Homo-oligomer: A and B are copies of this chain.
C-alpha cells in the first residue's frame, strides 16, 4: 500500500468571497478518491469570518479571566461568545465550542491574518467542507473527499498536530470492529481516527510559517464514503472522563 501527499502551489491570499474550489482545480489535476485537505484559516477568510477586537465589549466574566491570563479582555470575550463550556480558565483557556470541538481559545487564530483582525473557525465546518467539495466535484467530474483542518494541542504531550474540524464524504472514524488480527483474535483497537491522521499528514507539508501551503492533496487511500460528519468523532458527555476531571478541578 502507498499514499502520497503534495501541496497545491501558488494559492493566492484568500479574500472574502473567493472561490477556493476553483483556485484548487486551476492549480492541480484532481483524481477520483483524492482527499483535499484545506486549512480552516483560508476557509474562514473566504467565508468572511474575520472580526476585530475593537468591535467587541468585554463582560465582567471576560475581564476576570483575561486578568488571570494577561490577555486582552475583548479577546477573551470573543472566545466566550463562541463557547458552549469553559473547561479550564487558567493556565490555558480551554473551551468546548458551540460546534463540540474542544480547543484552546475556541480556535480563534491571529496568525496569517491582516493586522488587527482575528479569524474564527468556520461555524459549520462540515458545511464548509461540503460546499467546497461539491464545487470541486462539479468542476472536475471526480469523486473526492474534503477535510478542513486546524492545529491543536493535546493532553500529556507538548506540540500541536493537524486535526480535522470538518469533513465531506469521509467518515472521521474507521471502524475495525469485528475484524481479526494476524492470529485470528478479535481486535481490541477498533476505531481509527483517520481524518485526524490525514490532517496530521497534510500538516507536515502545510507548514506554519511564511512558506505556508493551505491546501494539500492526499492520494492513494480508498477512504471515500457517501457521507460523514465531524460530529461522529466527538466523545459523548457521559464517556468523557477527562472533561469530568477538568470540571472537578475548577470546583477545588
A240: min CB distance to chain B, Å: 7
Binds B, one of A3-11, A18-26, A135-143: A3-11
- Copy tally for this chain in the complex stands at 2
Whether B248 and A252, one on each chain, are in contact in the complex, defined by CB atoms closer than 8 angstroms, is yes
Instruction: Name which of A13, A96, A160, A252 has the most chain B CB atoms within 10 A of its CB.
Output: A160
Tell yes or no: A51 within 8 A of B by CB: no
A10: min CB distance to chain B, Å: 13
Known: A5-B4, A197-B161. A176 touches B245 (CB 8 A): no
Contacts of A68 in B (CB 8 A): none
A182: min CB distance to chain B, Å: 5
Whether A235 and B156, one on each chain, are in contact in the complex, defined by CB atoms closer than 8 angstroms, is yes
Contacts of A207 in B (CB 8 A): 1
| Chain A, range 168-198, C-beta contacts under 8 Å to B | 172-173, 176, 179-185, 187-194, 196-198
Which residues of A does B touch, CB under 8 Å?
Answer: 1-7, 13, 88, 91-92, 94, 96, 102, 110-115, 151, 154-162, 172-173, 176, 179-185, 187-194, 196-198, 200-201, 203-205, 207-210, 212-213, 221, 232-235, 239-249, 252
21 contacts between A and B (CB under 8 A): A91-B241, A92-B241, A102-B156, A151-B192, A154-B193, A156-B234, A156-B243, A158-B191, A158-B235, A161-B197, A176-B209, A180-B210, A181-B209, A187-B209, A190-B208, A197-B203, A197-B204, A204-B221, A241-B246, A241-B249, A245-B247
Q: Which 6 A-B pairs have the closest CB atoms?
A: A159-B193, A245-B245, A201-B201, A2-B6, A197-B200, A4-B4
